[in-house]
Amino acid sequence: MLPARLHPGGVEAASPGAEAQPLLRRLGRLATLSPAEQAMIAELGRGPLRELPARAEIHPEGVCPPPAALLSGWACRIRMLADGRRQIVAFLLPGDLIGRPPPCLPAPCAALALTRVLLADAQPLFAAGFVHHPPVQTGLGRALRAAELQEEILLRDQVVRLGRQTAYERLASLLLELRQRLEMAGLAQPGRFALPLTQEVLADALGLSVVHINRTVQQMRRDRLIELRGGQVIILQPEALQSVADWQDIPGLRD
Amino acid sequence: MLPARLHPGGVEAASPGAEAQPLLRRLGRLATLSPAEQAMIAELGRGPLRELPARAEIHPEGVCPPPAALLSGWACRIRMLADGRRQIVAFLLPGDLIGRPPPCLPAPCAALALTRVLLADAQPLFAAGFVHHPPVQTGLGRALRAAELQEEILLRDQVVRLGRQTAYERLASLLLELRQRLEMAGLAQPGRFALPLTQEVLADALGLSVVHINRTVQQMRRDRLIELRGGQVIILQPEALQSVADWQDIPGLRD
DNA sequence: CGGTGGTCTTAACATAGGTTGTTGCCGACC
DNA sequence: GGTCGGCAACAACCTATGTTAAGACCACCG
C-alpha cells in the first residue's frame, strides 16, 4: 500500500531498490537474468510494499495466498494441531517467495512473521515467468522454477531431520541450512550470521521442546562447535558441524 | 523397453491402455482434460514400459531423473544417512509422477520400488503441459501442476507427522493419507485397501523403529480402529481414526 | 525506580520410544 | 518333507526427550 520511501525504519535503503537486493541476488544465482528481468525484480522494491510487525500473520491456513516476495525480515510456514501443538514447516528468509501463481491449492499451513517483515507483490514476476511463457523459456522462469525446487529440497531435508536425526544433529543441520541460504542471499559473513529466533521457535521447527533445545544448544557450545548470543551465531568448526549433521549442500541451478 | 503386452503377469490388462487407468483417473480429477490429452495419457500405457522388481532402484540419489509415470505397483522416495539410517520421504502410488521436467535440480533422494512396478516415460506429458505452453493454459498443464502441488502438501503433512505427532497419531495419519490417495486413483474400496508394506517400511516412513511400529499396530487393532492382515487394511472407524490423526483431506483442484 | 513480561537456564522427575534378543509362523526352494 | 529366510509378535531393559517448576536476567514501561 504505502510507497517504500515511507518506511524509513530498519531497512538501510541507501540506493533506491536496495530492498530487492537479496531477491535479485538469489534469483540471479539460480539462472541468468536478462537486464529487463533484473530491472523488473529491482522494481518490486519500489512498488507498493506490505510491512508487518513480528508475530503478524502473513496469510492464514487454508487459503490460496497471492504470490509475494519477502524482501526483508524472517518468517515461517507453520501448522497447528487441534490441541495447540505447533510445527514450523519451513523458514522464509529475505529473497524467498511466498504463495504461488494460480492454479494453486489451498495452503496447508499459515505464514507467520518472525520479525518485522517487508513484502512485495510478486504477481508480475510470476506472470512474466510462469504464465505468459513456459517457465523453461525465460531466465526468470527458470529462476522461479529453481526456487520452487529448492524449497521442495529443503522440505525433504526437514523430513529427514525430524524423522531420523537426534536433537543435536537436527540443530546442526538447521544451522547449516540457514547459513547456506543466507549466504545465497548475500546476508551472511562466512561463519557468522544473524539468527533472530527464540529457542521456542527453534523448538517448533525441530520438533523438540524448548527445554531440550536449550540443553542441546548448551552442549553444542560446550563442544565448541558454535557460539550463539544476542541473535548472532558463529560457527566455530564448520567441518565438524557438517559431519555431525550429515550435511550436503543445497544444489543450485546455472541454466 | 519392452512393449506392454509382453508383461502378462500382475497387471490385469483387460482393455488396451488399462495400465494407464490410475494415472488417467488421477489427472482427470485434478483438471478437465481434452479428449486429445486423455488419449495422450492412455497412450503412455501402450508405449515402451519399464518393469522393475521389488527393491529395485528406480533412480539413485543426486541425479536429475527423467519424468516417469508410475502405472502400477508401489514405490517410495528415500534418503539414507551416512550410518545407514533410512527415512522414507514419500510414498509413490499408481498414478503418481516421478522425476521432473528440466530445468531440474539433482534429486536429494533416491526412488525405490517397494513392489514390482511398471513405469512409463512421461516426457511427452511434461513437454505438452509444461514446456510448449505455460502450465496454466492447458488442462494437462493444470493437472500436472496440481499434482506437483499435492505432492508438496503431502510433504508438509509428513513434516507435521514426524515433528509433532505420536507414533499412534502418525500411523493413523499415514493410513488416512494412503486411503485418500488410493481412492483418488480408483484403487480402494471404501474403508478397505491393499497395503503392500512391511512393518519395516512403515517404520522408515514414520521415523520409528520396527518394534515400535508393531506395538502401535497392535494397539490400534486392540482399539478396534483398524484391521491389518495379509497386506490388506480395513478401516473400522474412519471418524475415530481421523480425530486421532487430526486429519484434513488433501485438497484437489477443479479448474 | 520498581513492576512486568519475555526469554534463557537449570533441576528433578516422567515417559515415549529405542535396543536387543527370542519365538513362531509361513511360504519358497531344494 | 526339511530347511531356510523374511516377517510378525512379544518381553526386558535402556535412553533420549518431554514435563513441570523455579530462578536469573534483561528490556521495557509506568
Please tell me the predicted confidence (pLDDT) of residue A47. Answer: 85
Task: Identify any residues that bridge with A227 across adjacent strands, giving them in sequence order.
Answer: A234
Q: How far is the CA of B211 from the C1' of C20 (A)?
A: 11
Q: For residue A6, name the pLDDT band (cuts at 50, 70, 90).
A: very low
CB proximity list for A168: less than 8 A, separation 6 or greater: A216, A219, A220, A244
Beta pairing, strands A57-59 & A68-72: unpaired
Neighbours of A20 (CB within 10 A): 26
Are residues B152 and A152, on separate chains, in Cβ contact within 8 Å?
yes
* Nearest by Cα to A248 from A148, A143, A161: A161
Dihedral-angle region of residue A143 (phi above 0 means left; psi in -120 to 50 means alpha; beta otherwise):
alpha
Sign of the Cα torsion A59, A186, A38, A34 reads: negative
* Nearest by Cα to A64 from B120, B146, B159: B146
Mean pLDDT of A216-238: 96
Task: For residue B162, give the nearest of A103, A153, A162 by CB distance.
Answer: A162
Q: How far apart are CA A54 and CA B119, in angstroms?
A: 48
Please tell me the predicted confidence (pLDDT) of residue B15. Answer: 52
Q: State which amino acid sits at residue A47.
A: G
At B88, list the grid cell: 522414507
Which long-range CB contacts under 8 A does A127-134 form with residues at least 24 apart?
A: A127/A101, A128/A37, A128/A40, A130/A101, A130/B134, A130/B135, A130/B136, A131/A101, A131/B134, A131/B136, A132/B134, A133/B134, A134/B130, A134/B131, A134/B132, A134/B133, A134/B134, A134/B135
Contacting B residues, span 134-173, partner chain A, CB-CB under 8 Å: 134-136, 142, 145-146, 149-150, 152-153, 155-160, 162-165
Shortest CA–C1' contact from A213: which nucleotide? D17
pLDDT at A61 over 70: yes
Q: State which amino acid sits at residue B27.
A: L
Q: How far is the CA of B115 from the C1' of C18 (A)?
A: 28
SS3 B229: strand
Please tell me the predicted confidence (pLDDT) of residue B3. Answer: 35
CB B207 within 8 A of CB B162: yes
CB proximity list for B241: less than 8 A, separation 6 or greater: B172, B175, B176, B225, B226, B235, B247
Q: How far apart are CA B97 and CA A241, in angstroms?
A: 35
Footprint of strand D on the protein (CB under 7 A): A 166-168, 207-209, 211-212; B 198-200, 210-211, 214, 217-218
At B8, list the grid cell: 502378462
Mean pLDDT of B15-43: 90
* Nearest by Cα to B145 from A134, A49, A39, A150: A134
Beta pairing, strands B75-80 & B86-92: antiparallel
Mean pLDDT of A112-126: 96
Chain A hits for B173, CB-CB cut-off 8 Å, are: none
Shortest CA–C1' contact from B221: which nucleotide? D9
CB A69 within 8 A of CB A125: yes
Are residues A81 and B255, on separate chains, in Cβ contact within 8 Å?
no
* Nearest by Cα to A185 from A68, A38, A46, A24: A24
Chain B hits for A158, CB-CB cut-off 8 Å, are: 159
Are residues B165 and A251, on separate chains, in Cβ contact within 8 Å?
no
Are residues B132 and A131, on separate chains, in Cβ contact within 8 Å?
no
Distance from CA of A241 to the nearest CA of B (A): 14
CB B130 within 8 A of CB B100: no
Are residues A77 and B134, on separate chains, in Cβ contact within 8 Å?
no
Q: How far apart are CA A204 and CA A199, in angstroms?
A: 9
pLDDT at A164 over 50: yes
Q: How far is the CA of B221 from the C1' of C27 (A)?
A: 25
Give burial (CB, 10 Å; 0-12/13-18/19+) of B212. Answer: middle
> Is residue B168's beta carbon less than 7 angstroms from any atom in nucleic acid strand C?
yes
CB A237 within 8 A of CB A224: yes
In chain B, whose CA is at the least distance from the CA of A153? B108
Please tell me the predicted confidence (pLDDT) of residue A141. Answer: 95
Mean pLDDT of A228-242: 96
pLDDT at A100 over 60: yes
- What is the phi/psi pair of residue A55, to 5°? 80, -5
Mean pLDDT of B161-181: 98
The answer to whether the predicted template modeling score (pTM) of the entire model surpasses 0.85 is yes
Sign of the Cα torsion A129, A130, A136, A137 reads: negative
Please tell me the predicted confidence (pLDDT) of residue A17. Answer: 65
Are residues B162 and A159, on separate chains, in Cβ contact within 8 Å?
yes
Query: What is the DSSP code (8-state) at residue A251?
Result: P
Q: How far apart are CA A216 and CA A210, in angstroms?
A: 10
Radius of gyration of chain B (CA): 18
CB A83 within 8 A of CB B160: no
Q: How far apart are CA B74 and CA B22, in angstroms?
A: 12
Across chain B, mean pLDDT equals 91
pLDDT in tens, B209-231: 999 999 999 999 999 999 998 89
Q: What share of chain B has pLDDT > 90, as a percent?
A: 82
